[in-house]
């Protein structure tokens, strides 16, 4: 690394994706700057975490803290499709059944930020606009309102703000009709800890996120105004925030390039029915940090590190899209099967040669 780099990595966005990248890199001795525009993590949806995230929390050194905050860990979700009701277990292995993690996102984000700072990551709160410093086709650092901070790699983890894609004058490529998900909270306790209720109009998701708080999320085709909360929780009184988010399936046209990676929702979004947004955010943060480290250490060419990440993430996107299409196809006949844009989809999926040194890197 050249001497004038102040940091190995500058990570913008301290949600799950950015914190995972920062923690993974700091654990391996890289110097990391982590920048976020808000001082404290916000209350927000994204509180039902896939059981697969347990191994990642252990790797990142936060499993005990997460378990201490996690009041609800369901074994299964109850699915209602039309008149049919079924219980879907998450799975099991030699150590027992897999359990999801339900916990407040602000608490999870706090745990991850604390861990990053404990490892020596420099956390900066910067509320105003920040710019990538681009020179000779590379991102040399970030400009925090006149203060230029140099780094070997920038990781964009700004979630749906998609800071870097926009700053580079690009637009995410949509792969579905426009979709809006709405969410809110109710106080009280339900019988089933996770319920997914689907019909031809769309779906509703209800989850007990702590002992006495229930989150609901819904998506109805063609509906972009706040709906009524699901009937199953109508007896519970509203509490906390409510809102909506654009969950149109989309991916940035480039998620890696010379000196940068884009991770989490900043790289790609699918609607919450995919059930793995936070898992994907954490995994992509770790994968990007791992590939950046390989390039910094001279174990991989920078172009190969970027290419490997791009292929890995596109595969994930295509797999999620395939899974969602088959779910929606089973719900309604006239569902407009998404055309996966050629810049995003299968046609352009390049395969890495199996002997690539990057195929053995993290994930």
Ligand X SMILES: Cc1cc2nc3c(=O)[nH]c(=O)nc-3n(C[C@H](O)[C@H](O)[C@H](O)COP(=O)(O)OP(=O)(O)OC[C@H]3O[C@@H](n4cnc5c(N)ncnc54)[C@H](O)[C@@H]3O)c2cc1C
Question: Binding residues for ligand X, per CB under 6 A?
Answer: 12-18, 35-38, 45-49, 130, 157-159, 161, 163, 181, 183, 217, 245, 247, 264-266, 272, 276-279, 281
Smallest gap, in angstroms, from Cβ of residue 224 to ligand X? 14
Report how far residue 181's alpha carbon sits from residue 270's, in angstroms, rounded to the nearest whole number.
Answer: 11
CB nearer to ligand X: give 165 or 276: 276
Cα dist. 9→135, 162, 164, 293 in Å? 17, 18, 15, 9
156 versus 302: smaller Cβ distance to ligand X: 156
User: Distances in Å between the alpha carbon of 251 and those of 18, 152, 255, 269, 279?
Assistant: 17, 24, 8, 6, 17
Q: What is the rounded CA–CA span in Å between residue 102 and residue 173?
A: 31
Give least dist CB 147 to ligand X, A. Answer: 14
46/202 with CB nearer ligand X: 46
Of 36 and 320, nearer to ligand X (C-beta) is: 36
CB 132 within 8 A of CB 139: yes
**Least distance (Å) from ligand X to the CB of residue 127?**
8
Q: CB of 85: closest distance to ligand X in angstroms?
A: 21
* Closest distance of CB 186 from ligand X, Å: 15
Residues 292 and 284: their CA atoms lie apart, in Å, by: 12
Beta bridge partners of 187: 213, 237
Q: Report helix angle 277-296 to 16-27, nearest 10.
A: 40
Please report how close the Cβ of residue 183 comes to ligand X at its closest, in angstroms: 4
Question: What one-character-per-residue DSSP string does 107-139 give?
Answer: HHHHHHHHHHHHTT-EEEE--S-EEEEEETTEE
Which residue number, 17 or 296, has a Cβ lying nearer to ligand X? 17
What are 303's two structure tokens? 């172009």
Between CA 13 and CA 161 the distance in angstroms is: 10
Hey, which residues does 149 pair with through a beta bridge? 142
Q: Closest approach of Cβ 282 to ligand X, in Å?
A: 8
């Amino acid at each position: 690394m050249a001497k004038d780099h102040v940091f190995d990595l500058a990570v913008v966005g301290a949600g799950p994706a950015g914190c995972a990248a920062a923690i993974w890199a700091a654990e391996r001795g890289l110097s990391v700057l982590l920048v976020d525009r808000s001082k404290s993590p916000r209350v927000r949806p994204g509180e039902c975490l896939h059981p697969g995230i347990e191994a990642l929390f252990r790797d990142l050194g936060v499993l005990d803290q997460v378990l201490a905050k996690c009041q609800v860990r369901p074994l299964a979700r109850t699915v209602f499709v039309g008149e049919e009701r079924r219980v879907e277990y998450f799975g099991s292995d030699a150590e027992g059944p897999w359990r999801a993690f339900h916990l407040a996102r602000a608490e999870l984000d706090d745990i991850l930020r604390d861990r990053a700072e404990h490892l020596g990551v420099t956390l900066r709160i910067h509320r105003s606009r920040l710019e990538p410093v681009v020179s000779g086709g590379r991102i040399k650092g970030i400009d925090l309102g006149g203060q230029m901070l140099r780094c070997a790699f920038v990781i964009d983890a700004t979630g749906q703000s998609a800071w870097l894609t926009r700053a580079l004058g690009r637009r995410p490529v949509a792969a579905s009709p426009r979709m809006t998900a709405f969410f809110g909270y109710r106080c009280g306790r339900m019988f089933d800890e996770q319920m997914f209720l689907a019909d031809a109009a769309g779906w509703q998701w209800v989850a007990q996120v702590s002992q006495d708080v229930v989150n609901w999320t819904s998506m109805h085709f063609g509906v972009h105004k706040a709906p009524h909360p699901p009937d199953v929780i109508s007896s519970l009184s509203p509490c906390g925030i409510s809102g909506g988010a654009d969950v149109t399936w989309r991916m940035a046209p480039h998620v890696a390039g010379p000196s940068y990676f884009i991770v989490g929702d900043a790289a790609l979004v699918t609607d919450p029915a995919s059930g793995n947004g936070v898992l994907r955010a954490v995994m992509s943060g770790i994968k990007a940090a791992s590939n950046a480290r390989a390039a910094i250490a001279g174990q991989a060419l920078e172009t190969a590190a970027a290419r490997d990440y791009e292929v890995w993430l596109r595969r994930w996107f295509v797999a999620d899209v395939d899974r969602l299409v088959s779910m929606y196809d089973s719900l309604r006949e006239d569902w407009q099967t998404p055309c996966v844009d050629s810049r995003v989809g299968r046609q352009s999926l390049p395969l890495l040669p199996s002997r690539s040194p990057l195929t053995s890197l993290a994930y």
